[in-house]
Structure 1
Amino acid sequence: MQVNSCLLLASLLLLLPSTEMKRSGKGRGLRGARHKLTRDRVRGAGRHSRSGPSGLVSPDCTELTESGDIFVDCQDRRLNSIPISKTWSKEPKHLLLARNRLKILQDGAFFGYENLASLDLQQNQISLVEEGAFQGLARLKTLLLQHNRLRTLSEEALIPMPNLHYLRLYDNPWNCLCPLDSLTRTLQVPSNRNLGNHARCEEPIRLKGMKLKQVDPELLCKESDPTGNPEWDQTNTTVPAKPSPFRGKPDATTSCHTYLFPQIRMDCSKRGLTEVPTGIPDDVVHLDLSHNSIHHLRARDFQSARSLRTLNISNNNMERIDTASLFGLLHLRELDLSDNSLHYVQYGVLEDLYFLSQLKLGGNPWVCDYSIHYMVYWLHHHPGVWYSGLICRSPPEHTGESVEEYVHSYNRECPKDRQHSRTDQDQTDPELWNTPMEVQRELEEELEPSHLRVPQKYQIIRLS
């Protein structure tokens, strides 16, 4: 009897777990348990504190307020996923994720960021954007996806953003085949003139270098050679050959990196430029052209950059700045010309810089002769400009001397070698007025030929 009781108790203990599982899963066994686990994870996703979910570390980003807008700056943080929206104390309007390690934008990647007006994803490693990645971003106006690894992108990905005004897609290896057909048609709609400018095909070879804005969508779905010849793209004569590219000045939009926060900044440093690129947007406030090989600034190089406040052209081995090269920079505040090969600055170069407050000139081999006087003259008449680095490098007798001291010493010594004209002296010395010298001067005037002293009279002859 005792043995039977033990067996009955053991059977009950074995039945209890399965009964409990059925209760938790509402009669669905293991399937119900999985459903509960998934439901708990979804609910838990909305309960993360600012420190992030359990086991994850909150990204070391910066929350800033500029003109009443909330910016979240997560640039250069080595992120490989999008931070959840609950991480921030306030809902951001601008999210900066440039220069990270993002590779895939999954569906719902920006859930909780419905208030975003701009999203900067440039200079990552993004190779795939799922169709629902931007779901919920109905207020987004600016999307930056340049300098990534995108080969294709569906038009469906753009549909959740009806207010998108600016979309940058250049410097991606676009594969211009049939899957890209819908995107190219969207970009070529006239009202989308600011979407996808400068993006070009990387493949196939027959379309390489052509802009997505200009490529014929009908060419994207051309069937490959039925014989399977991999060289078909190069030898097919039915497709018009791509015209050889125009070799002109580099374009600023494709050659440089553009950032939105806190003001629009264009970074063109270390890009191998040999001249100032064209097409600098008129809303760029800060421009960095340092560490290139720009030896010569030409007239009107910056005529489109009307909003510039700071301009850095240091470390370019620059030898010459033409007059009117800085034409139009009426609002420029800071100019960095340091570490170049300038001997002097031509007369008139600085005349448009009405509001300049800082001028960096160090690291140049300034030659202290008469050609350097213009720089000191201009600085003398603009006492509000703080400047540095204006030191004589040659000739040897003035090496190490400040250019301002050289010019002052030059002006002190110059009168010894200069002869004043008698005309200047007569006009400026009151003691010589009404003297024999003045009388002699009047006599000389009376002895001048009459045709020089008296206005000539002209005779009018009537022909009718």
Structure 2
Amino acid sequence: MISFFQPGIFDKLKKLKTLSVEKLPLYCDCQISYFISYLDSKRRSEGIAPHTTCSGGRLKDGDLSMHELIRDLDPSRLYCPTSYDLPEMRKCPDEPTCPAECSCKAATSDTIHMNCRDKRLQKVPKHGPENVVNLILEDNELTELRAREFTQYRRIQGLDLSKNKIETIDEKAFDGLVNLQKLYLYENQLTSIGPGTLNGLRGLQTIMMNSNKLKCLPADLLSDQRGSLIM
């Protein structure tokens, strides 16, 4: 959630007449100085955040009370920790980049293929781009898939986990992957799989689980699926 505005963000909006940010949790320390100055320059514009308040904050001489009108604050009184590097502090966080152990290439103008094949990975990379649609983790050293293992990658359509050493899969490992169409789990060490493991994966078209140690499948495992199964 937005808690401050980068300096200059509104400067080119010369014809801006309405700005409603009342519901944002704006924290009022020295990061908010630009926004105070901007509001001060727009005092005659009644539609420019007239009632925007602080959700919290700190002054040099004490805490700032909640619901203080931002446009009435004196920037010189706002607390700024000496440990802050102000130019860095004012930068928006960087978008997640491709993990160093993987390679990424464009799938479309706004989606990515992420290839982490044969990198001796023991865990699923957690900080990749959110717009990954194909994630290849083939031929690594994964031994388990924990609950919500792929939360970062909710747009995934293809997930290749083949040729690992996966022995256990938490029933919530694939939670949230509503776009998943292809799931490859072949050549692992699975001896069993929980009945709820594939719940919610209604878009799944292909599941490959051949060359595991599975002896049977739960009756409800495929209750949401409409696609093919290769064992």
Q: TM-score range by the shorter chain?
A: 0.5 to 0.7
Of the three residues 387, 409, 423, the one matched with 2:229 is 387
**1:46-74 per-position Cα deviation (integer Å, ceiling 9, x unaligned):** xxxxxxxxxxxxxxxxxxxxxxxxxxxxx
Of the three residues 71, 94, 118, the one matched with 1:194 is 94
State the alpha-carbon separation in 2 of the partners of residues 289 and 367 from structure 1: 25
| Higher share in helix | 1
Q: Find the residue that maps to 2:99 and give its secondary structure.
A: helix
Question: Over alpha carbons, which structure has the higher Rg?
Answer: 1
State the alpha-carbon separation in 2 of the partners of residues 355 and 330 from structure 1: 7
Q: Find the residue that maps to 2:120 and give its secondary structure.
A: coil
State the alpha-carbon separation in 2 of the partners of residues 271 and 188 from structure 1: 33
The residue aligned with 2:122 is 274
Within 5 Å, which residues of 2 pair with 1:425-444?
none
Within 5 Å, which residues of 2 pair with 1:104-119?
none
Q: CA deviation at 1:283?
A: 0.9
The residue aligned with 1:357 is 205
**1:12-41 per-position Cα deviation (integer Å, ceiling 9, x unaligned):** xxxxxxxxxxxxxxxxxxxxxxxxxxxxxx
Of the three residues 154, 170, 173, the one matched with 1:306 is 154
Structure 1 runs (4+) greater than 4 angstroms displaced:
none
Counterpart residue type for residue 387 of structure 1: L
Query: Does 2:134 match 1:289?
Result: no
Gaps of 5+ in 1: 1-184, 199-251, 390-464
Query: Does 2:217 match 1:377?
Result: no
Higher relative contact order (CA 8 A, sep 6+): 2
**1:85-118 per-position Cα deviation (integer Å, ceiling 9, x unaligned):** xxxxxxxxxxxxxxxxxxxxxxxxxxxxxxxxxx
State the alpha-carbon separation in 2 of the partners of residues 377 and 333 from structure 1: 19
Q: Find the residue that maps to 1:314 and give its secondary structure.
A: coil
Gaps of 5+ in 2: 1-84
State the alpha-carbon separation in 1 of the partners of residues 107 and 203 from structure 2: 23
State the alpha-carbon separation in 1 of the partners of residues 142 and 102 from structure 2: 15
Q: Find the residue that maps to 1:304 and give its secondary structure.
A: helix
The residue aligned with 1:426 is none
Q: CA deviation at 1:335?
A: 0.4
Within 5 Å, which residues of 2 pair with 1:122-141?
none
State the alpha-carbon separation in 2 of the partners of residues 264 and 323 from structure 1: 27
The residue aligned with 1:255 is 101
State the alpha-carbon separation in 2 of the partners of residues 367 and 278 from structure 1: 32
Within 5 Å, which residues of 2 pair with 1:95-244?
188=88, 190-191=90-91, 193-194=93-94
**Count of paired positions:** 144
| Higher share in strand | 2
Identity %: 27
Q: Find the residue that maps to 2:179 and give its secondary structure.
A: coil
State the alpha-carbon separation in 1 of the partners of residues 192 and 150 from structure 2: 21
The residue aligned with 1:330 is 178
State the alpha-carbon separation in 1 of the partners of residues 225 and 131 from structure 2: 29
Q: CA deviation at 1:354?
A: 1.6
Q: Find the residue that maps to 2:132 and give its secondary structure.
A: coil
The residue aligned with 2:33 is none
Query: Does 2:215 match 1:367?
Result: yes
What's the Cα RMSD here?
2.4
Query: Does 2:166 match 1:318?
Result: yes
**1:316-355 per-position Cα deviation (integer Å, ceiling 9, x unaligned):** 0211101111111111010000111111211211112121
Q: Find the residue that maps to 2:201 and give its secondary structure.
A: coil
